[in-house]
Amino acid sequence: MNETSGGPIALTMGDPAGIGPDISLCTWALRRSQEIPPFLFIGDPSVLFERAKALGETIQIRETDCAGAAAAFSDALPVLPIRCPAAVVAGQPNSENAVTVTGAIDTAVRLVMNGEATAVTTNPIAKAVLYEAGFRFPGHTEYLADLAEKATGAPTLPVMMLAGPKLRTVPVTIHIPLKEVPAALTPDLIYKTSVITAGDLKRRFGVAAPRLAIAGLNPHAGEGGALGLEDDAIIRPVIDRLRAEGLDVAGPLPADTMFHDRARETFDVAICMYHDQALIPAKALGFDDSVNVTLGLPFIRTSPDHGTAFGIAGKGIARPDSLVAALRLAAELAANTAGAPR
């Protein structure tokens, strides 16, 4: 995939005490058999070195930059070094190293914004650990959006997509209590989420005329108001507006019947109203291969669909499947974006 990209994928370290270093090593080791696109690991090389030792692997690490990453990639794992101030123990997060965790993200965004890297793939972070160090964002994605806003000066609405081999879903609301979902579902939010999703499907996913399936909120999509009013009162008018603007949109669809094989053939993405409405089908249809993609950013960002898994860090049992899928998808999106008219 080297020839399709102008630079490597910037891969952030994530929490060094989590499985990020483990799966990054495993993924690099699979570079030939799995055709892993070249990436530049941004973080502490000694963490990788120690983790490789713990896993009983011998590994070549080369400190380099974006320009040198692709050339190094077949022989050594390329690392842009940012060092942790405190000792790293697998499974034992330390908020003193939070500065390196966020520093790796800052660096990755800088590299992708100035064109040296083609995409950002992030390893998992632990919010609680960062909060102890004064981190003020609800999560990874919001932090990336803030960096994007600072870089471009334009307001950014990050949109989460779960992309699997069989299904793409986008939750309109994400990490909020279920009972707060109806109030959070404003027409504006559903509209903007849909427009950003359709735009990114065109520009980055190579879907010329994206077909959106928008889920209802209530059982049976409200059944004409008998089982809830939001489907007709809030979601349907947004669908009418999107259609009037020329988008191919179906809905509001009953959430329980929109994900089976035949139904999925009729759309490119499902816009869901809440976290589990998007996550239940995504995980049922592709547990290990699902990738998180953040849409709406001025750059490509993918991440594996799991957390730091402190409990298994350094034990050699963390599966790299989702990181492999995240890197591959990042490369694919970068190739599509490079070929698409801006």
- Binding footprint of other proteins on the chain (CB under 8 A): 174-179, 181-182, 217-220, 222-223, 227-230, 255-257, 259-260, 274-277, 279-285, 287
Task: Report the nearest approach of other proteins to the CB of residue 274 (Å).
Answer: 8
What is the C-alpha separation between 315 and 55, in angstroms, rounded? 7
Considering the complex, what minimum distance in angstroms separates the CB of residue 277 from other proteins?
A: 6
Q: Is the peptide bond before 252 cis (omega within 30 degrees of 0)?
A: yes
Nearer to other proteins, 35 or 180 (CB): 180
Are the beta carbons of 182 and 310 closer than 8 angstroms? Answer: no
Could you tell me the smallest distance in angstroms from the CB atom of residue 264 to other proteins? 10
Q: Closest CB to other proteins among 22 and 305?
A: 305
Q: Closer CB to other proteins, residue 182 or residue 187?
A: 182
Nearer to other proteins, 32 or 179 (CB): 179
Compare residues 16 and 222 and give the one whose CB is closer to other proteins.
222
Work out how close the CB of 190 gets to other proteins at its nearest, in angstroms, rounded to a whole number: 15
Smallest separation (angstroms) from other proteins to the CB of 124: 14
Q: Hey, which bits of the chain come out as E strands?
A: 9-12, 39-43, 61-63, 77-81, 119-121, 159-163, 168-171, 211-215, 248-253, 269-272, 291-295, 301-304
Beta partners for residue 301, in sequence order: 120, 294
2 or 257: whose CB is closer to other proteins? 257
Which CB atom, from 166 or from 315, has the smaller least distance to other proteins?
Answer: 166
162 neighbors 172 (Cβ within 8 angstroms): no
For 190-249, give the DSSP string: HHHHHHHHHHHHHHTT--SS-EEEEE-SSGGGGGGGTT-SHIIIIIHHHHHHHHHTT-EE
What's the CA gap between 269 and 249, in Å, rounded? 10
Report, in Å, the least distance between residue 170 CB and other proteins: 15
Which bin fits 56, alpha (ψ -120 to 50), beta or left (φ > 0)?
left
Closest approach, Cβ 261 to other proteins, in A, equals 8
